[in-house]
Amino acid sequence: MKHKIFSLKTTLAVGVVALLLPLSSCDNQIETTPYSYSTSANFFSNLDEAYMATLGVYQIMSLQDTYGWNIPLVFDADTDIIQISGDTDVDWRTIPHYKGISQTVTFYTVWSQLYTGIDRANVVIEKIPQMKLYTEGTESQKTQLNRMLGEAKFLRGFYYSELVRLWGDVPFKTKSSQSGDNFKAGLVDRYEIYGQIIKDMTEAAAVLPEAMPTDERINKWGAKAMLARVALFAGGYSLKADGNITRPDNYKDYYLIAQQQINDIMAQNPYKLNTSYSRVFKNQCQHVLEPTENIFQVAFYNSAVGTILANTSWSGYFNAPSVPTVSNGFYGGTAARCLITKPFYTSFAAGDQRRDFSIATYIFDALGNKLARVTTTQDQTWTTAKWSREYQTNAPQERISTNINWVIMRYSDLLLMRAEVENELNNGPNAIAYDAINQVRRRGFGLDVPGSRISITLGNQGTGYTSAATVVINITGGGGTDAAAAAVTVSSGRITAITLLRSGDGYTSAPTVTITSTDGKGSGATATATLLTKPTATQVNLSGLDKVNFLKAIQQERAWELSGEGMRRADLIRWGILAEKITETKTAVQAVRTTYPYPAFDNFKKFKHELYPFPTNETDVNKGITRQNPNY
């Protein structure tokens, strides 16, 4: 089990500290209720107080307002791979469906929380160097305080990078809010802000520990990895105030920054891929710390039992396969709102184990059994599956919202960034680029573990079965995991069709398949499992691509590897292809059936929806913001 940076004790303490720190740098809360600077001045008297203040900066990420829900799950849809279900007038639908306006409350919620985090970071950055212990303490005390200072700088840079990514040019402030300040801050050019972000993260990396973390605190290599991502976004395409989508003339300078950070990391080799793709997410669901795979993650923890709790996440509830909410159900219920587009499902190559683990072509019944959703229009309801209830602890505290950490960057993401950077700077892929992308692909096809996937064939159809929903197919033995199957149709008491829901991985011999029923009716049906031939490294590895096609391969690989992990929409924007992908996806889903819903296409407008509108709650008070983002 992991050691959470937020325990019950620290969560309560951070709540108290939050009352001592300013709420924001330029929103209407500060405008109407300025805070006294003396409270924070009196607070930083020892290491514990400095640590609590630093945790207060981290705590902004651990809210459902930010990384517990809105930023990774709502703001990352709708794209070519995931869309939010339904089309009613609620923020978590209107925003993904590109119908959000400046008055949409959630825009301001996220905006204000990020600025709250920045202002808390500003306080820590100012006050720690003024502490007596910072100059006169023991070496251990100085080291700890420098680490906290580095964390605050990193987080300030990270929060600003998110604001710029979502809104473009934004108000910018590196001084904590004090009573009497002018909070009507104007917009600052994003590249000026990127300059400070790069400075903050560089200075942070210089003082953060190199050792792998034992909790969710950022370390040196995590800061460098995130700096590499920031540099790619700075060098990527974005919607400008003049209504054009461009990238800076000196974009390669940012790619060089990313290359240097990545090379620094790879020279030390602190990270490695878990040999099993599925195990990565099972570990996340079961709160197993895996710092060699998960580079930067957000901590969630609350020991209470409830519906919407402080410091808990909707991961594993909002973005999981459907489970009914019933009393005494085998699993806690889910919302199942993150739908996979069928064209994305069919885009995977044969043998890619990531498809069946990442995408649920099934739902659960109240008993915890899987029911196939593969007939008629049921393919329109397929969901993300990486954080399925079946992998979670099923503890009372997690049967609604969960304590599953949100991982902002994994090692495979860093490898794919490395491939992209090398391809761009060398005018085509070199050996480093191929090695990076092929490491990810080989893991995705299960080449790093013994055994392979399976297929299943129906034998005897049996008699007396009442419906496909009552049939249970169990797959046991064989040395592998995750394979699952379900009945599709029952006719005249016979099972006439079954489907493989997940082909699994790691099977070294054919597992045993048994067929039962939940109502005790029906008997005699049989099925046989067969091992599938695993692709070879030669078949999986990419080679022989030019610069353009290698970039396309990276774009597709990031979809297969990182689906549902909060970065797809942002990636498409920085590549300048969001509009193109939405149009392509509309054509693809229409080819499935003309009634396949895809509201993003109907609502999306290029040169508008690549940025969010400045929230009305902000612009009504902050008259320093004299324009709106383009076409709002």
406 pLDDT more than 60 = yes
Backbone angles phi, psi at 152, to 5 degrees: -65, -40
CB 46 within 8 A of CB 145: no
Residue 38 Cα distances to 25, 41, 128, 130, 179, angstroms: 17, 5, 14, 13, 10
Structure tokens belonging to residue 202:
């560089």
Contacts of 377 (CB under 8 A, 6+ apart): 593, 595, 596
Structure tokens belonging to residue 150:
């580095």
Q: Which of 402, 369, 380, 363 is nearest to 470 (CA)?
A: 369
When pLDDT is cut at 50, 70 and 90, the band that residue 184 belongs to is confident
In this prediction, residues 345-364 reach a mean pLDDT of 97
Name the residue with tokens 């055994």.
Answer: 451
Q: Which of 467, 563, 477 is nearest to 73 (CA)?
A: 563
CB 394 within 8 A of CB 331: yes
H-only helix segments in 458-567: 537-540, 547-562
Give me the percent of the chain exceeding a pLDDT of 70: 93
List residues bridging with 472 in a β-sheet: 516
Gyration radius (Cα) of the chain, Å: 25
pLDDT at 180: 64
pLDDT at 18: 56
List residues bridging with 331 in a β-sheet: none
pLDDT at 198: 98
pLDDT at 34: 29
The tens digit of pLDDT for each residue in 293-322 reads: 999 999 999 999 876 778 999 999 999 999
Q: SS3 letters for 60-81?
A: HHHCCCCCCCHHHHHCCCCCCC
Give me the percent of the chain exceeding a pLDDT of 90: 90
H or E element: which one contains 516? strand 512-517
In this prediction, residues 20-48 reach a mean pLDDT of 52
Name the residue with tokens 């006439």.
Answer: 496
Specify the DSSP class assigned to residue 314.
Answer: -
289 pLDDT more than 60 = yes
Q: Which fold has domain 39-208+576-631?
A: 1.25.40
* Domain spans in the chain, listed from the N-terminal domain onward: 39-208+576-631, 300-404, 454-534
- The identity of residue 464, as a single letter, is G
Specify the DSSP class assigned to residue 96.
Answer: T
4 pLDDT more than 70 = yes
Contacts of 328 (CB under 8 A, 6+ apart): none
pLDDT at 13: 54
The tens digit of pLDDT for each residue in 535-552 reads: 999 999 999 999 999 999
pLDDT at 33: 32
The tens digit of pLDDT for each residue in 77-105 reads: 999 999 999 999 999 999 999 999 999 99
pLDDT at 178: 77
CB 239 within 8 A of CB 607: yes
In this prediction, residues 356-366 reach a mean pLDDT of 98
Give the mean pLDDT of the chain.
Answer: 93
When pLDDT is cut at 50, 70 and 90, the band that residue 27 belongs to is very low
pLDDT at 49: 96
The crossing angle, in degrees rounded to 10, of helices 8-20 and 47-59 is 90
The tens digit of pLDDT for each residue in 377-404 reads: 999 999 999 999 999 999 999 999 999 9
The tens digit of pLDDT for each residue in 583-605 reads: 999 999 999 999 999 999 999 99
In this prediction, residues 109-136 reach a mean pLDDT of 97
- The identity of residue 572, as a single letter, is L
CB 40 within 8 A of CB 127: yes
pLDDT at 130: 96
